[in-house]
Chains A and B, each alone.
Chain A
C-alpha cells in the first residue's frame, strides 16, 4: 500500500477499534456520548479522504469505486446517528431505562459495530468479509437485547438464531467460492482475494460458482432482510434502542447487500455461470410485494418503518438484479437515499416515542400540533420514503420502474403496483399520526434536529438537482456492477 493513503485506510478501521476500547474503559456518560460522536466524525473525515486518494489493493484490504461509495455513506450515517444517539441516550438514562453500566457497553458496542461494518466494506478477502459481517451481526444482537424486557430478549434471540443460520450458509458459499478459485488460482490467500476472483472468474467451474451463489444469496440475503428470510428484522428494529434501528436499517442491511453484490460481480464475470439477476429480481420483488401489504396492519410505529425497510431493500435488490447501466445507477442512488431517509425517520420516531412514552400508533396523534418540528419532520420523512416528488426517492423509484418497463413490462407493473400499495399504507398512517387532535404528552422534546435536517436536505437536493460529478461517479460505479 502506498504511504499516506494506506495510513488513511488503517485510520478508518483503527479509529472505531481504539475508541471502542476507550469507551469500554471510560465511566463518564456525558463524555462518552461526545467521544462517540467525535470518533464517528473522525472516521467519516478519513472515509472522505479516501475519495481523493486510494491505496493499491493488498491481500486483505481494498478500496475501489464500489466500496468507497458505501464507506462514505456508512461513516456519514454512523456520525449523524451518534449525534442523535447522544440526546436519545440522555433521555433513556433520565427515565432509568438504561443504567450507567449498560451505557458504557452500548457506546463501546456502537464503535465495534462501526469497525465491523467498515472492515466488511474494505475487505478484499472474502473470508475476512465474512468474519466482519459476523462481528457486526453479533454487536447488533447484543444491542437489540439491551433493554432486557421479554420482548427485547425474544427479538434478540430470534435475530441471533436467524442471523447465525444465514451467516453459516454464507460461510458454506464462501468455501465453495474458494474451491472454485483454487482450481484456477492455486492454494492460498490469492484464491480468496476478491480482486483476483473477479479477474480470473471467467475460468472458474460454473457449476461450483452457481451453487456457491445460491448459498451466498440466501446467507447474506437473510441479513439484507429479503422475504422469506426477513422474520428477524421487524422485531429487531422495534425492540432495540432507536439509534440501533437507524443503524440497522440505514447501514447494516446495505453492508449485507454489498456482500451479495461483490459475489454478483464475480458471477457475471463468468460466461458459463447462471445469471444472478433473475434470482435477485425474484427475491427483491417478493420482498416489495410482501412488505407493502404488511405495512397495513402494523400497530407499532418502529415496526411499520421496519417493514418499509424490507420494502426498500427489496426495491434495491430488484434494481441490481435487473442490471444494466440505468437500473444499477438507480439502485445505488435509491440505496443511498433510503439510508439517509430511513435513518432520519428513525431519529424523529425515537424522539416521538420518548415524548409520548409509547410506540403504539393508536396512542400517538396530532404530532404537528403538539410537537411541530418533530411532527413535520415525520411528515417530510414519510413523504420522502413513500416516493412522493420532489424528494429524491421519487426519482429513483421512477427510474427503476421505467427502466424495467422497457425490458420486462409485467415485472414493472407488479413493482409499480406494490409501490402504490405501500404509499397508501404510509399516508393513511401518517394522517393519524401527524394530524388531528393531539393525544398524550405535550411536553417539548429535548431533541437534536440537526441530523434530521441534514439528511432531509440531502434527500431533497438529490430529488431536485444532482451535481454532475456525483452523477458521473455513480454511473461509473453502476458500470462496475454490470
Chain B
C-alpha cells in the first residue's frame, strides 16, 4: 500500500479524534449538534477512503449510511427536537470543561499505549486505526458521563458508534460491517424517536434524593 493512501487514512482517523475533542467542549446545544454532524462527516469520508484503498465496494454503503443518516437526518431531527422541547440553551456539564479535556487527553494516551504494542501483527493500517478508534470510543464514554442532558448523552453514544465503524472498516475484510452499521442506524433512529416521543429532557438530573427514590419506588 503506498504511503499517501496510508497518510490520508491516518489524517481522517486523526481528524475523527479531533472532532471528538471538539464535542467535549461544546457548551451550546446547536453547536454540539453541528459538531456531531462534522464528526459523522469525517467518519463517512474515512470509511469511503477505506473502501477505496481496500477495494471493498460494500463499504461505500456504510459510508453513505453515515453521511445520509448521521451527518444529515439525525442532526436535522435533533435541531427540531431541541426547539420543540425547549432545550436549545446552554448545557450544564457535570465536571468542568478543563478537567474533561485533561481526562480526554489521558484517555487518548491510554488507548495509544494499549493498542499500539499489541496490534503489531495486525498491519500498519489497522494498527493506528484501532488506536484512534479506541480513543474515539473512550472520549464518547467520557462525554456520556460528563453530560446530564439526554440529547448530549445520545450524541456521545453516536460518537462511540462512529469510533466502532472506524474500527470495523479498519479491520480489513471484516464481514457483516454493512449489516452492523445498518443495525446501529436502527438503534440510533429508535433512540432519537424515543427522545422525541417520550419528551425526555434530562434524565438522572435530579440531585434531590427524595424525588429519585419516589421514581424508583424505594421510599420507605
Contact = CB atoms under 8 A, between A and B. Distances in A.
Interface of A: 125, 127-128, 130-131, 134-135, 138, 142, 145, 148, 150-151, 153-154, 156-158, 160-161, 164-165, 168-169, 171-172, 175-176, 178-179, 182-183, 187-189, 191-192, 205, 207-208, 210-211, 234-235, 238, 297-300, 303, 359-360, 362
State the main secondary structure of chain A at its contact with B.
helix
16 contacts: A125-B175, A150-B215, A157-B200, A158-B203, A165-B157, A171-B168, A179-B122, A182-B172, A187-B172, A207-B117, A208-B122, A235-B216, A299-B219, A300-B216, A303-B216, A303-B218
Given A179-B171, A299-B218, A300-B217, A127 B179 contact: yes
A183 B121 contact: yes
Interface residues of B, number: 46
Contact of A175 (B167, B200, B204): B167
Contacts of B119: 179, 208
Contact of A131 (B130, B133, B180, B190): B180
B164 A172 contact: yes
Interface in B97-125: 114-115, 117-119, 121-122
A130 B180 contact: yes
Contact of B173 (A164, A165, A168, A187): A187
Nearest to B157: A164
B134 to A, nearest CB: 7
Contacts of A188: 173, 175
Given A171-B180, A208-B121, A303-B217, 15 more contacts: A127-B174, A150-B215, A153-B200, A156-B194, A157-B194, A165-B157, A169-B137, A172-B167, A178-B171, A182-B173, A183-B121, A187-B173, A188-B173, A208-B119, A299-B220
State the main secondary structure of chain B at its contact with A.
helix
Nearest to A206: B118
A359 B217 contact: yes
Interface in B126-166: 126, 130, 133-134, 137, 141, 144, 150, 153, 157, 160-161, 164
Contact of A168 (B164, B203, B220): B164
A156 B157 CA distance: 16
B179 to A, nearest CB: 6
A477 B208 CA distance: 50
B187 interface: yes
Contact of B144 (A145, A165, A191, A299): A165
Contacts of A138: 186-187, 190
Contacts of A183: 121-122
B1 interface: no
A125 B176 CA distance: 10
Question: For A182, A188, A191, which residue has the most chain B Cβ atoms within 10 angstroms?
Answer: A182
Contacts of A156: 194
Nearest to B214: A151
B207 interface: no
A91 B134 CA distance: 49
